[in-house]
Amino acid sequence: MTTIITGATSGIGKATSYELAKKGHALYLLVRDVVKGDELAKQLSRQTGNREIYSVKCDLSDLYSVRTAAEKLKSRLFAVNVLINNAGGIFPQRRTSKDGFEMTFAVNHLGHFLLTQQLMPLLIKGQARIINVSSEAHRVGRPNFNDLQGKESYSAWKAYGNAKLYNIWFTKSIADKFGDKGLTAFALHPGVVNSGFGTGLSGFSRLLLSLARPFMISPEKGAETTVYLATQATLHTKSGGYFKKKKPVKPSADANNVAYREKLWQLSELLITRDL
């Protein structure tokens, strides 16, 4: 199995990479910091005996970096069996990416949208599973299509909730648009994981996170549903589904809004071609 994963150097991504390395997957770790990525690849190889672990530079907030990473992968690989869009983040203050997009939108959605589009020939050849790490935070998502970039009104949690809702819309759209080509897609909530998530938050948000920390699960526990979706043999009938604790669960009502997710897809296609 050839598997690509973003956000592999910490938290859930690192734990997921370790479990898949143990299962013999040929792993391509897409990382912002190639020094950390190379160190992790060597570490996982030592720990698991798996020699097919590689790191590839990819900054999801930079569309040129995403395209460059995809071209490198296409030059090395014939097919991809699993793509795990795992990387994400929450940003206390509104920031913009190199391409001018609000950072939560860029990292959690648009970078993964472009990566998936660019890798589509390899994914189709590999009859791939595409796994998008979402969150129960999607239930507070209330997107404003006239202000996707949060210029008029920004809050960290609102932007994050919207982005996690986009992850589910993206998943359902892939299942609809590419199911006849053999692709399956799944979204998931990993649990509230004790990792570096939320570093930099302040005020009430920081207080809430500190109070919740004793009840958070480990990255290893948080990775279980991702690993399940990447390896379980009989999931094709659940394509487009949202999973929690390795079981399909019902997402929010907005998550099933076909018109909204089609609008997001069309807007995303426009945005990723804007800088060409």
Q: Does the pLDDT at position 214 exceed 90?
A: no
Is 260 part of the annotated catalytic residue set?
no
Catalytic residue (choose from 18, 28, 154, 160): 160
Q: Does the pLDDT at position 208 exceed 70?
A: no
Instruction: Output the pLDDT for position 218.
Output: 87
Confidence tier at 200 by pLDDT (50, 70, 90): low
Q: Report residue 269 as tokens.
A: 């296609």
Averaged pLDDT, 82-86: 98
Q: Does the pLDDT at position 203 exceed 90?
A: no
Confidence tier at 205 by pLDDT (50, 70, 90): very low
Confidence tier at 174 by pLDDT (50, 70, 90): very high
Query: Which of the residue ranges 73-87, 176-190, 199-213 would you say has the lowest mean pLDDT?
Result: 199-213
Strand order in the sheet with 26-31: 53-57, 26-31, 2-6, 82-85, 129-133, 184-189, 242-244, 247-249
Between 208 and 21, residue with greater pLDDT:
21
Superfamily of domain covering 2-273: NAD(P)-binding Rossmann-like Domain (3.40.50.720)
Helices 63-76 and 111-118, packing angle to 10 deg:
30
Confidence tier at 274 by pLDDT (50, 70, 90): confident
Instruction: Output the pLDDT for position 65.
Output: 98
Q: Please enumerate, as own/partner, the contacts of 140-147 that have beta carbons within 8 Å and a separation of 24 or more.
A: 141/165, 141/166, 141/252, 141/254, 142/254, 143/260, 143/264, 145/260, 145/263, 145/267
Residue-range domain boundaries for the chain: 2-273
Mean pLDDT of the chain: 92
Phi-psi region of 191 (alpha: psi -120 to 50; beta: other; left: phi over 0): left
pLDDT, tens digit, 9 for 90 and up, residues 90-129:
999 999 999 999 999 999 999 999 999 999 999 999 999 9
Between 209 and 116, residue with greater pLDDT:
116
Nearest to 5 by CA among 99, 116, 93: 116
Q: In the chain, what percentage of residues exceed pLDDT 70?
A: 91
Q: Report residue 96 as tokens.
A: 């913009």
pLDDT, tens digit, 9 for 90 and up, residues 35-49:
999 999 999 999 999
pLDDT, tens digit, 9 for 90 and up, residues 248-260:
999 999 999 999 9
- Cα–Cα dist 212/210, whole Å: 5
